[in-house]
Homo-oligomer: A and B are copies of this chain.
């Protein structure tokens, strides 16, 4: 290990290798109950740095764990699956290599943040929108895409809207996918498959290579935009809502990654647990839940999404939504014009003291509008404060600074009301058993499937609660998988539940790993189980 660090020091600048105690401690922090500790942190600035680093790792058989920005909140943050890895922090590889306004795509390095690309698109008046997640301004777009994360717009499926990868392999070779490996290739960032096998899927949720460049598709700003939300009163109305909206999603009328969140999810985005009102009791008593719903003027579930297109298309889509949910829930449209009106009116209403909580309404609408137009904010990160006993310092949005504990459980289910209800019925008793609240969102990720994002939120300062969170997490995953609702993505704690040695899928995944990285030096244990020593032939 030390020999490897010495070798890295010889080829890199002094500020590119850091094994100081404060740095190692900082990179060990996690929103999970337990992080892992690296041996050092390396800061490459270009692809050839990555190649040289990996060649040394290969020679010394040291594990390197690439992170883009390390903001993998709730899944493992910047932590490797195992202690002692060299963290390959790609944050200094943050070039926006190309933005093509005619064909609406960007080519970026892993260190490019959501905030950075957004600012670039604005400052250069590109007329292009990106899709963003709730992971904040400093989160990496590449990192999210490689873990198959998603956002809120028509381009919400990030892997689906990526096109063209550059990846460094364990032996230092640089592989370009799609058409990118042909000289003068014209369509590298507009047609994903190239010719021959389509390899991009190999580099997501795996450890076969280090992606150092990625093409991302962007959206021309639509002519018209209208936000809508629907609230329903009862827990079981989720089923009605899913079944009412599925035909619209499937017909292409709701092309965005549409989200349906429960009341608890909204409470957690607006403030922390009502410790005072509940006298410290957990989980949230029904009476308090009802009080909070009333106070915020929300129902059991809220659907929120945006309609985009020409003015006529948006009008047609509004009509289709209106017809689909008629009699089922309370529907509100907020167009850009209406939003301007609200922006004008709110300060005046505030001054006059006439309206109920108008400032809060405006703030949450502003956040939603931003997100649905691909403008990243740090707002959603506050959801990690939910169970904190002490109010966090105002000056940091970083969950790791405030001690917010967060474990995502994110199963995939068919887009039916039955399945949504079934998932809720599975998880509710588990959350209750460990005195947590079932914070839940269902995202219509494509035209047929939803991803449920369930959140075990806890206070890292409370050892007992942290312990309960771990058990709650494992019970949730086990209960869901037993009924065939498998995770779309996993945190460090869930990885060992996914792979089965007897399953040809995982056998093949491991065989590919052994071929591309026989010493298992890239992200050992990430999705692909650690390789066993090979049997003598």
Cβ of A228 < 8 Å from any Cβ of B?
Answer: no
Nearest CB in chain B to that of A248: its residue: B310
Contact of A515 among B319, B488, B514 (CB under 8 A): B514
Instruction: State which of A376-384, A458-466, A477-485 sits at the interface with chain B.
Output: A477-485
Which residues of B are found within 8 Å of A255, using beta-carbon distances? 252
Q: Is the CB of B504 within 8 A of A186?
A: no
Given A186-B484, A309-B316, 8 other A-B residues pairs in contact with their CB atoms under 8 A: A103-B415, A182-B484, A185-B484, A189-B448, A197-B201, A199-B201, A220-B247, A252-B308
Ranked nearest first, the 8 interchain pairs of A and B with the lowest CB-CB distance are A198-B201, A184-B484, A312-B316, A190-B448, A191-B449, A197-B206, A181-B505, A190-B449
Question: How many Å lie between the Cα of A504 and that of B199 in the bound state?
Answer: 12
CB neighbours of A106 from chain B (8 A): none
| Chain B: minimal CB distance from A51 (Å) | 12
Does B509 lie within 8 Å of A196, measured CB to CB?
yes
Q: Does A4 contact B (CB under 8 A)?
A: no
Instruction: Report how far A175 CA is from B500 CA in the complex, Å.
Output: 13
B181 touches A504 (CB 8 A): yes
A169→B103 contact, CB < 8 A:
no
Instruction: Check if A285 is an interface residue, CB within 8 A of chain B.
Output: no
A250 to chain B, nearest CB (A): 6
A135 located at the interface, meaning its Cβ lies under 8 Å from any Cβ of chain B in the complex: no
A308–B485 Cα gap in the complex (Å)? 33
State whether the Cβ of A487 lies closer than 8 Å to any Cβ in chain B. yes
Residue A499 CB within 8 A of the other chain: yes
A223 vs B320: C-alpha distance when bound (angstroms): 11
Which of B177, B208, B505 sits near A177, CB closer than 8 Å?
B505
How many angstroms from the CA of A219 to the CA of B447 in the assembled complex? 10
Please, which residue of chain B has its CB at the minimum distance from the CB of A422? Answer: B186
- Report if A416-B486 is in contact (Cβ < 8 Å); known contacts: A195-B498, A197-B206, A252-B255: no
Instruction: Please provide the chain A residues from 86 to 140 with a CB less than 8 Å away from any CB of chain B in the complex.
Output: 102-105
Question: A60: shortest Cβ distance to chain B, in Å?
Answer: 21
On whether the beta carbons of B196 and A414 are closer than 8 Å, the reply is no
> For the complex, what is the distance from the CA of A462 to the CA of B105, rounded to whole Å?
48
A-B contact pairs, 28 of them (CB 8 A): A102-B416, A154-B252, A169-B504, A179-B486, A184-B484, A185-B484, A185-B486, A186-B419, A190-B448, A191-B412, A191-B445, A191-B449, A194-B505, A195-B487, A196-B505, A196-B527, A197-B509, A198-B202, A199-B202, A199-B505, A223-B251, A252-B308, A310-B319, A312-B312, A312-B319, A511-B515, A511-B516, A515-B515
Closest to A490 in B: B195
Set of chain B residues within 8 Å of A528, measured between Cβ atoms? 196-197
Q: How far is the CA of A320 from the CA of B445 in the complex (A)?
A: 28
Q: Which of A153-203 contact B (CB under 8 A)?
A: 154, 159, 163, 169, 173-177, 179, 181-187, 189-191, 193-203
Residues of chain B within 8 A (CB-CB) of A250 are 104, 219-220
Contact A313 B515 (CB under 8 A): no
Residues in A lying within 8 Å of B, measured CB to CB: 102-105, 148, 154, 159, 163, 169, 173-177, 179, 181-187, 189-191, 193-206, 208, 217, 219-220, 222-223, 247, 250-253, 255, 308-310, 312-313, 315-317, 319-320, 412-416, 419, 445-449, 451, 481-490, 498-499, 503-509, 511-512, 514-516, 527-528
Main secondary structure, interface of A, reads: loop
Name the residue on B nearest A445 (C-beta): B191
Task: Report which of B208, B253, B412 forms a contact with A309, defined as CB distance below 8 A.
Answer: B253
Measured in the bound complex, the distance between the Cα atoms of B6 and A390 in whole Å is 78
Tell which of B173, B253, B527 touches A197, judged by Cβ atoms closer than 8 Å: B527
Distance of A489 from chain B, by nearest CB (Å)? 7
Q: How far is the CB of A458 from chain B (nearest CB, A)?
A: 24
B414-A187 in contact (CB<8A): yes
Q: Is the CB of A182 within 8 A of B504?
A: no
Assess whether A412 is in contact with B449, with CB atoms less than 8 Å apart. Answer: no
A254 to B: closest C-beta gap in Å = 11
Contact residues in B for A193 (Cβ distance below 8 Å):
148, 159, 201, 204-205, 488
Q: Do B206 and A196 touch across chains, with their CB atoms under 8 A apart?
A: yes
Q: Hey, which chain B residues are within 8 Å of A159, CB to CB?
A: 193, 198
Quick one: which of A177, A183, A448, A498 has the most chain B CB within 10 A? Answer: A448
Complex contact B312–A504 (CB within 8 A): no
Cα distance A415–B163 in the bound complex, in angstroms: 15
Q: How far, in angstroms, from A102 to B203 measured CA to CA in the complex?
A: 33
B186 touches A313 (CB 8 A): no
Question: Is B483's CB under 8 angstroms from A186's CB?
Answer: yes
* Contact (A252, B217) CB under 8 Å given A197-B527, A504-B175: no
